[in-house]
Amino acid sequence: MAEKTSSFNQSDDSSTAAGQTASKAEIYREWIDIAILTPIRVAWDDWRTQTGSIIILFYVLLGTVGVVLVEAPNQGQGDRYTQPFQDWSVPLGTNNLGESLLSSTVHATPPMLQMIAAGAVFSTAIATVVGTVSGYKGGAIDRLLTTLTDIAMTIPGLPLIILLAAVFEPTNPAVIGILITINAWAGLARSIRSQVLSLRDHSYVEASRIMGASTRRILQDDILPNIMPYVLINFVNSARNVIFGSVALYYLGILGGVHENWGIMLNGAYNDGAIYALEFIYWLLIPMIAIIGISFGFVLFAQGTEKLFNPRIRARHAETVEDDAPYQE
């Protein structure tokens, strides 16, 4: 009898452990579906996301694989002023020094991607943190952060960037990206603060406070999902500002030509009179197409991913564990 009881207890313990293991597996599976797979399904359901993702992926491949496959630009790669598609060793033509425009375009992509990532992430992250905390907390914290934001907004951006570039002479692309957006976060922070001020008094936020939810939890679950579409759009705007700002600074010669940049290509074409002669217009068009293409990809991606923050659409695309799990007796 004692042996039967012991066997029964052992089997009961084994089934309990198996049940706990199964529950953990289901929890992990559901978390992966909700946090990772559902956003991918929602985003990929829109043609704009698909097109934007393909364009961005093209530039990423251009800046990683392309620099390995395409040799660095140097003088004498081809005859001077070779037209596009005339010599397949330099398929996009050459400039006044015989440098391949394809090589210049490809090797200008990695620094540009680093500038975009550093500048857009820096300005958007600072603005989101400052605006959210300021709007939700209020009081002395709000007054302090608002004062800092107002000071940053009163400083003219372009003269500040030119001054900092002249003083520090940055060569690292990430530093240049941050430099271009050094005070661009201020306007976005004020806008986010205004949105958070209107959101913090909503009934669902008040219900979370009554239930004892922490400030971090309220910001994460109730506030941020409602402002993320606006933040995402402004992230893309920041990325575009970094692209145009860096190209302009390199074109004007404010930033040194340590590495390739589409602005340097435009400067060379302009100084050599390509703007006045139709036979050299390709020298201007190739970097311009590269600039417009990456900007267009970011815009499409941002427009297509607005649905990510709609809870109803996310719920429709979610595949719960209960739906996929096999029937068990």
Classify each residue of 23-60 as buried b or exposed e, where b means 16 or more C-beta atoms within 10 Å of its C-beta: eeeeeebbeebbeeebbebbbeebebbebbbebbeebe
Residues 69 and 142 occupy one common structural domain: no
- 39 is a domain residue: no
Does the pLDDT of residue 321 top 50, yes or no?
A: no
**Average of per-residue pLDDT values in the chain:** 81
pLDDT category of residue 59 using cuts at 50, 70 and 90? very high
Across 260-289, average pLDDT? 89
Total domains present in the chain: 2
The pTM of the full predicted model, rounded to 2 decimals, is 0.77
DSSP SS3 for 100: strand
pLDDT category of residue 327 using cuts at 50, 70 and 90? very low
Does the pLDDT of residue 17 top 70, yes or no?
A: no
Task: Estimate the crossing angle of helix 157-168 against helix 224-252, to 10 degrees.
Answer: 60
Residues 184 and 296 occupy one common structural domain: no
Last residue of a domain, one of 226, 255, 284: 255
Residues 281 and 239 occupy one common structural domain: no
- 17 is a domain residue: no
- 297 is a domain residue: yes
- Tens of pLDDT, residue by residue over 124-146, are 999 999 999 998 888 899 999 99
The DSSP secondary-structure symbol of 34 reads: I
Residues 240 and 310 occupy one common structural domain: no
Structural domain boundaries enclosing 76 = 52-108+260-320
Integer-rounded Cα Rg, in Å, for the chain is: 27
pLDDT at site 315: 58
Residues 117 and 224 occupy one common structural domain: yes
CATH number of the domain encompassing residue 208: 1.10.3720.10
Residues 56 and 164 occupy one common structural domain: no
Across 84-112, average pLDDT? 92
pLDDT at site 306: 67
pLDDT at site 64: 93
Cα distances (Å, whole numbers) of residue 61 to 25, 55, 70: 36, 10, 12
Backbone angles phi, psi at 276, to 5 degrees: -105, -10
The CA angle 254-188-293, to the nearest 5 degrees, is 55
Does the pLDDT of residue 14 top 70, yes or no?
A: no
pLDDT at site 38: 64
- Residues contacting residue 13 through CB under 8 Å, at least 6 positions apart: none
Better pLDDT: 222 or 5: 222
pLDDT category of residue 32 using cuts at 50, 70 and 90? low
- 191 is a domain residue: yes
pLDDT category of residue 322 using cuts at 50, 70 and 90? very low
Residues 129 and 246 occupy one common structural domain: yes
Does the pLDDT of residue 15 top 50, yes or no?
A: no
- Tens of pLDDT, residue by residue over 157-187, are 888 888 888 888 888 999 999 999 998 899 8
Contact 313, 42 (CB under 8 A): yes
Residues 138 and 124 occupy one common structural domain: yes
- 42 is a domain residue: no
Last residue of a domain, one of 255, 290, 308: 255
Last residue of a domain, one of 229, 255, 281: 255
